[in-house]
């Protein structure tokens, strides 16, 4: 396993303490291998939203990305990420930012893994994310009902925050679009579904990518397209011009 050689990316991650979906060397390796395939990494610039300790960046730099940018709002994670990336990737090109608004340049591949559910305005956020991508956007979110209708579930609990190295619940807004809603919003912004990524589940564990789990996760890779889905607003505007 790749991260068997870099155990600090697991040991310093508070998610290793979770009862469900623990971060381990195996889970982190399988996640990176599934998401960061050669066609969206090698020779590409990478923007990683919610980069935490920079594990994705470390994997990407070891697999030929040309430049890595991590965005992490938690200062302790950013500082530890800088320490780990500089130690294990001397001479590599990368930078670490505070928020998505600090990202002013486009990247070939944008990662939004476990990132979008922390924002209320899902459409506005995805519009911003798409504007930062030259080629790919990879989104990881909670897997909702397989209902054929697009929907965005908004609830006020279940979010998790750090508390002395452990996780605790608190009241707050969480937004979770299902795949159908993601496909539509991404289509409006000029991105089409390239493929659904399914990391191989870890046996005998509460794996987040195991569809039999109640709160499993889904990863979708979108590719930039020439065509965009039109909206009623855009159609009305076009008719007014005519």
At 45, phi and psi to the nearest 5? -90, 135
Three-class secondary structure of residue 49 per DSSP? strand
Most confident of 64-73, 196-205, 209-218: 64-73
- List pLDDT tens digits, range 75-132: 999 999 999 999 999 888 899 999 999 999 999 999 999 898 878 889 999 999 999 9
Task: Take residue 171 and report the two structure tokens written for it.
Answer: 């009241």
- List pLDDT tens digits, range 3-17: 999 999 999 998 888
At 150, phi and psi to the nearest 5? -70, 140
In angstroms, rounded to a whole number, what is the distance separating the alpha carbons of residues 51 and 175? 19
Please say whether the beta carbons of 42 and 65 come within 8 A: yes
pTM of the model: 0.88
Three-class secondary structure of residue 206 per DSSP? coil
């Amino acid at each position: 396993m790749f991260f068997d050689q870099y155990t600090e990316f697991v040991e310093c991650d508070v998610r290793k303490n979770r009862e469900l979906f623990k971060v381990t060397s195996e889970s982190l390796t399988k996640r990176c291998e599934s998401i960061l395939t050669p066609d969206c990494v090698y020779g590409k610039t990478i923007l990683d939203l919610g980069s935490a300790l920079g594990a994705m960046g470390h994997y990407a730099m070891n697999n030929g990305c040309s430049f890595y940018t991590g965005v992490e709002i938690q200062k302790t994670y950013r500082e530890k990420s800088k320490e780990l990336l500089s130690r294990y990737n001397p001479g590599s090109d990368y930078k670490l930012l505070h928020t998505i608004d600090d990202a002013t340049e486009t990247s070939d591949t944008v990662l939004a893994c476990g990132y979008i559910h922390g924002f209320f305005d899902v459409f506005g956020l995805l519009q911003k994310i798409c504007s930062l991508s030259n080629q790919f956007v990879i989104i990881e979110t909670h897997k909702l009902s397989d209902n054929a209708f697009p929907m965005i579930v908004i609830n006020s609990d279940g979010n998790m925050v750090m508390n002395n190295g452990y996780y605790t619940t608190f009241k707050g807004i969480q937004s979770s679009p299902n795949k159908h809603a993601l496909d539509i919003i991404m289509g409006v912004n000029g991105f089409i579904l390239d493929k659904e990524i399914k990391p191989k589940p870890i046996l005998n564990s509460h794996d987040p990518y195991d569809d039999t789990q109640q709160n499993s996760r889904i990863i979708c890779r979108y590719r930039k397209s020439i065509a965009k889905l039109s909206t009623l607003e855009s159609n009305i505007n076009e008719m007014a011009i005519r």
